[in-house]
Structure 1
Amino acid sequence: MYNLLIIEDDKDLADAMRKLLSKWGYHAVVCEDFEHIMKSFEAAEPHIVLMDINIPAFDGFYWCKKIREVSSVPIVFVSSRESSMDIVMAMNNGGDDYIQKPFDSHVLVAKLQAIIRRTYEYRTVETQLIECNQVILNLNDTKLYYGEACLDLTKNEFRTLKTLMENKGKVVSRESLMKQLWNDDLYVNENTLTVNMNRLRKKLEDIGVGDFIHTKKGMGYIIP
């Protein structure tokens, strides 16, 4: 369930929005303390913020900037102000979308669903891929892709590349790699890692990926 924070000083409208969003399966919270909006934000831990511009104390632009100092959560302005300058200011202050009042409830829900897909659901899919220097490792099928080439990896080859690619630009020690590969075997010869690394490098070279994994003598391996 996604948490939504509604920052709207019209109590009737705020309650109507809360009820509408609850019907669609969202957990909507209405901010009631306009002097301390950041406390409400921290308590709600929202996935999306719905923000009016004309609210007591400071306006929505101010609070949008304050939220942006600590979070990249999507912020949707919902306001009766309709000038192009208001829309520009909303976007320039960190807003992600702008909906004018009065709004169609179906349009509001559709926009929120689109933002959720872009921000959270698509991101989940994207994180299943790791890319380094045009080399792509698919965490789902454990295959490596480079240009038009596709490389089937053994379990240890996959673990080796995953560890090195996740630490791109950092040296990964031989001890750390050995623990990743043979954590349950206390008697693996250290030369086994060298043999595995040489085989992996040869497979990479065969599909045109040369000089991908560098050796740092006395330290370990790195993908620069």
Structure 2
Amino acid sequence: MIELVTAALTKWQYQVETIKDWNNVATEVVASQPDIILFDITLPTFDGFYWIRKVRQTCKAPIIVISAADIDSNIMHAITLGADDYIMKPFSTAVLLGKIQALLRRANQSSENDQLTWGDNHFNSLTNELVNQHGTATLSPTEGALMSLLIKHLNHTVTKEKILEWLWQGGKFLNENTLNVNISRLRAKLTAVQLDQDLRTERGVGYRLVDNHEA
């Protein structure tokens, strides 16, 4: 699998680094300073879930999980631990490249509007840090992209379809549970800065971020 993926990505002029010591995956990942990470769930020592959790403690790079395991149970677990997207074996190179390009495009978005402010809240879309008088919340790349979208549509409902289109190319290769898990994870992090109640669910339609003055 490593050889096939490496050959495919190298063909498209991506620089690929692979793990050499499966007992020190997190250390090698951080040392390589990756722009994006591909994780299988089944690995020689600890499983991918373990290493996703470890890597997320020090690295903000987008993570794509690759697995032949059941998508419904494992995708939610992987996303909860910090993964940003998911692809099932067997998969085509075109699908993998599409997911990589989408995540890199979000991660490398223009810095012209990196600072988003509403009320007393300040969000940096480059560092994915949300700051207000109550503290700081550090978001994952996907949570950050979702937060940016909601802020730019403040007080307006953003449909699930629009979110899927922006974050995951329309969700064509994605179980919708991924969106639900990301919303839950984002809301949990917003608790630290007392904004969890400002993220509203419009049942059957989408989600809405409200300012401090809206009931």
The TM-score normalised by the length of structure 2 is 0.52
**Which residue of the partner structure matches residue 31 of structure 1?**
19
Q: Is 1:69 equivalent to 2:57 in the alignment?
A: yes
TM-score (norm 1): 0.50
Distance 1:56 1:103 in 2: 21
| Structure 1 SS opposite 2:64 | strand
1:90 aligns with 2:82: no
In percent, how many aligned pairs have the same letter? 33
Secondary structure in 1 aligned to 2:17? strand
Q: Which amino acid aligns with 2:49?
A: F
Gaps of 5+ in 2: 121-131, 134-215
Paired with 2:9 and 2:113, the residues of 1 have a C-alpha distance of 27
> Partner residue of 1:117?
105
SS in 2 for 1:22: helix
* Structure 2: distance between partners of 1:76 and 1:132: 31
Q: What one-letter code is carried by the residue in structure 1 that aligns with 2:67? A: S
Question: Where does structure 1 lack aligned partners over 5 or more consecutive residues?
Answer: 1-12, 135-167, 170-224
Measure the CA separation in 1 of the matches of 2:67 and 2:105: 23
> Could you tell me which of 48, 60, 68 is aligned with 1:60?
48
- C-alpha deviation, 1:132, in angstroms: 6.7
Instruction: Deviation per CA, 1:149-180: give whole Å up to 9, x if none.
Output: xxxxxxxxxxxxxxxxxxx99xxxxxxxxxxx
Going from structure 1 to structure 2, the CA distance change for 1:99 and 1:125 (only over 3 Å counts) comes to: farther
Say whether residues 1:22 and 2:10 are aligned partners.
Answer: yes
| Structure of larger gyration radius | 1
Within the alignment, does 1:100 sit opposite 2:88 as a pair?
yes
Mapped to 1, the partners of 2:110 and 2:60 lie a distance apart of 14
Return the alpha-carbon distance in structure 2 between the equivalents of residues 43 and 133 of structure 1. Answer: 38
8 Å Cα contact 2:26-2:55 kept in structure 1: yes
> What corresponds to 2:212 in structure 1?
none
Count, aligned residues: 122
Distance in structure 2 (CA, Å) of the matches to 1:98 and 1:36: 23
Q: CA deviation at 1:20?
A: 1.0
Does structure 2 conserve the Cα–Cα contact (< 8 Å) formed by 1:15 and 1:30?
A: no
